[in-house]
Amino acid sequence: MSNVNMIEGIIIASFDEDDRLRQTLASTGRPYVILNRFLSGDYNCVAIDTRVAAYKGVRHLIDLGHRRIGHLAGRLGRFNGEMRLQGWSDALREAGLVPHDDLVAEAGYDPEKVPDAVDLLLAAGVTAIHAATLLTGAAAIARLHALGRKVPQEISVVTMHDDLLARVVYPEVTTVGLPTQRMGRAAAERLVRLIEQGNDGPTVVQENILLPPDDLIIRDSATVLNS
């Protein structure tokens, strides 16, 4: 018996286009759970509500007095990139601000694309940057340092997710925590139930799981806007 045939279920995290991911899942013939995204028409997905996470981060910048807040976007057109863009937009609109297109610059998850994206946001006159990922947020701080811009005195930066990187860059990064371990545990628990269902166990409710983000963690990368 091959190793593949010994696998009872699959947890998959993929950046593939929706149609390609569906083909991959169909070819496995095994119960599966999709991690960190929702797939339209599928109910075996576990993700974190990064729309709310982005909203929290941008709301913090608004409370600090910022009004020109740029969004250093993830991969637009995909689940998480669009969720985070929506959270940024929702926070601005709630505060009576307009989410203009020139306040959005896409870097995806590639720190090498961050310098050009940051330059675009600075050209738009932002006083603060909300980064869709911790890695691109750290890269944005590095770019601002390279340009001689002081963080947070001139430009504040807020991002999401919290790990060692947030605490070793200078200044330490204000961020919204994401419960990644809880997401992994929820995915594993759902997969076990799906496997048991296939062995005449109880039926699993067809409902995706969207976990709320953790709290805002205030550090030194964002401050009150100097008027």
**Segment 66-80, tens digit of pLDDT:** 999 999 999 999 999
Amino acid in position 204: V
Q: How many angstroms separate the Cα of 109 from the Cα of each of 1, 91, 129, 133?
A: 39, 22, 16, 7
At 76-106, the pLDDT tens digits run 999 999 999 999 999 999 999 999 999 999 9
In degrees to the nearest 10, what's the CA dihedral of 92, 215, 83, 99?
Answer: 10
pTM value is: 0.92
DSSP run (H or E) holding 211? strand 209-211
- Counting as low any pLDDT under 50, the low residues of the chain are 1-2
- pLDDT for res 22: 85
> Among positive and negative, which fits the CA dihedral 181, 169, 57, 80?
negative
